[in-house]
Amino acid sequence: MNAFILAIGNELLNGDIVDTNSSFIERELSAYSLQVRKVSILPDDPGLARAAIRSGIEEFSHVFIMGGLGPTEDDITREAVAGALGRPLVKDPAELEILKRKFDSCGRAMPSNNEKQALFPQGSQILPNPIGTACGFFLSEKGCRVFAFPGVPSEMKRMFLDQALPILSIELPKRQGTERLVVKTIGTGESAIDAIIKEKIVPRHCVRWEILAGGEGIIIKFYPTKEDSGWKARLREDLEACLGQLIYGYGEEEMGAIIGGLLAGKNLTLGCVESCTGGHISKYLTDRAGSSAYFNGGLVVYSNELKVRLAGVSPALLERHGAVSVETAEALARGGKRALGCDVCLAVTGIAGPGGGSEEKPVGTVCFGIADHRDRVAVERRVISGDRADIRERALFHGLNMVRLALLDVAGNAS
């Protein structure tokens, strides 16, 4: 079995939006006996879309289409699918009523052009959209399974997981040999992790591995090379013995969820004082539902004036050591803890670039401070490589890892 992914939208071709939907579907399908053989991006052109869909149905067992299901004139996917299959578009009264209720709940009258979103190729199974107005649909043609989703990534991903995957899992067996263990680490480099795996893990386990370095740390994926039902447990045990607290999670676990779980488990609250990250850490934490149970709030103190006024940093200290220093990071953490009324406070101050660096403090210099629930303070100074976005992202995860280690009572440089 093989698959064709088709993304439709002018915005994908003119550089306004990056197609992340296709890679998401590829990752999700990798666990099944369905190989993605072709990915195409087309403009909002009905003729091109019809031809691609018609060809895809002839060549592939599965076709996945994203985009073009909105209410406007350039949303052409439903018409293109219907035309390619020679089927009429049929209005679904129940879906039209659901659309009207969605607008009513927002206190708005539904524009007449949204009625288009209740039209589906004859014989389609509607794929509900719980967070938007554009429903998808599923149908079969000449033995090919055709799925259509809206192009908004959050909507597409939820609909794929909730609506499409259950359909696919009925007919597609899990691919043999795709079982894996994903290990997330932070605090050391890719080469150091690779050396530990080669020297201490590979001689004891029948596995192959992949390493991916990014802002959230070093991600390692292990795959068994022979049948062994207990391989994961034994591998985890050895990895934890070799890497210790460098490991912060497994599988789909994320740093934000891990921090939240530790705080909630200890009935503690967290606050952040941010300079170079500009509120990025606070946003990351509060992107998670339920974070109000453990996150008190944050201060963005970009200017020295606000470092003094909001976080209580001494002007003399700033004059003596500068805004980017471990001394200032410590003062921000202590002052932030008082100002935010939290049990643990993380402070980050640095030079994200591209300008502002010096020989003593080059671009990428970031200083971290943490005042924890045991009245200890830890500070660190790091020089982080990359562009502005890279530096801010890596500072975010390094700072949160300091919080994790403090909550586990293994923070370094605590006093």
Domain with 67 in it: what CATH number?
A: 3.40.980.10
pLDDT reported for residue 167: 93
Can you give the residue range of the structural domain that contains 101?
2-171
In a domain, 37, yes or no: yes
In a domain, 29, yes or no: yes
Whether residue 329 contacts residue 379, with contact meaning beta carbons closer than 8 Å, is answered with yes
pTM exceeds 0.95, yes or no: no
In a domain, 192, yes or no: yes
One domain for residues 380 and 335: yes
Domain termination site, one of 250, 272, 300: 250
Helix (H, G, I), strand (E, B) or coil at 282: helix
pLDDT reported for residue 172: 84
In a domain, 66, yes or no: yes
One domain for residues 272 and 246: no
Cα dihedral 157/158/160/166 (nearest 10): 150
pLDDT block averages, 10 residues each, the chain of length 415: 95 92 91 89 96 97 97 95 97 95 90 95 96 95 96 95 92 70 94 93 91 92 87 95 96 95 97 97 96 97 97 97 97 98 98 93 96 96 93 97 93 48
Encoded amino acid at 323, one letter = A
Whether residue 357 contacts residue 366, with contact meaning beta carbons closer than 8 Å, is answered with no
One domain for residues 219 and 315: no
pLDDT reported for residue 110: 93
One domain for residues 244 and 121: no
pLDDT reported for residue 292: 96
Domain count, the chain: 3
One domain for residues 319 and 380: yes
In a domain, 415, yes or no: no
One domain for residues 158 and 193: no
Whether residue 382 contacts residue 366, with contact meaning beta carbons closer than 8 Å, is answered with yes
One domain for residues 115 and 158: yes
CA–CA–CA angle 270, 304, 308 (5° rounding): 60
pLDDT reported for residue 413: 46
- Please give the sequence-ordered ranges of beta strands (E in DSSP) within 239-358, or none if there are none: 247-250, 270-274, 295-300, 344-350
Encoded amino acid at 369, one letter = G
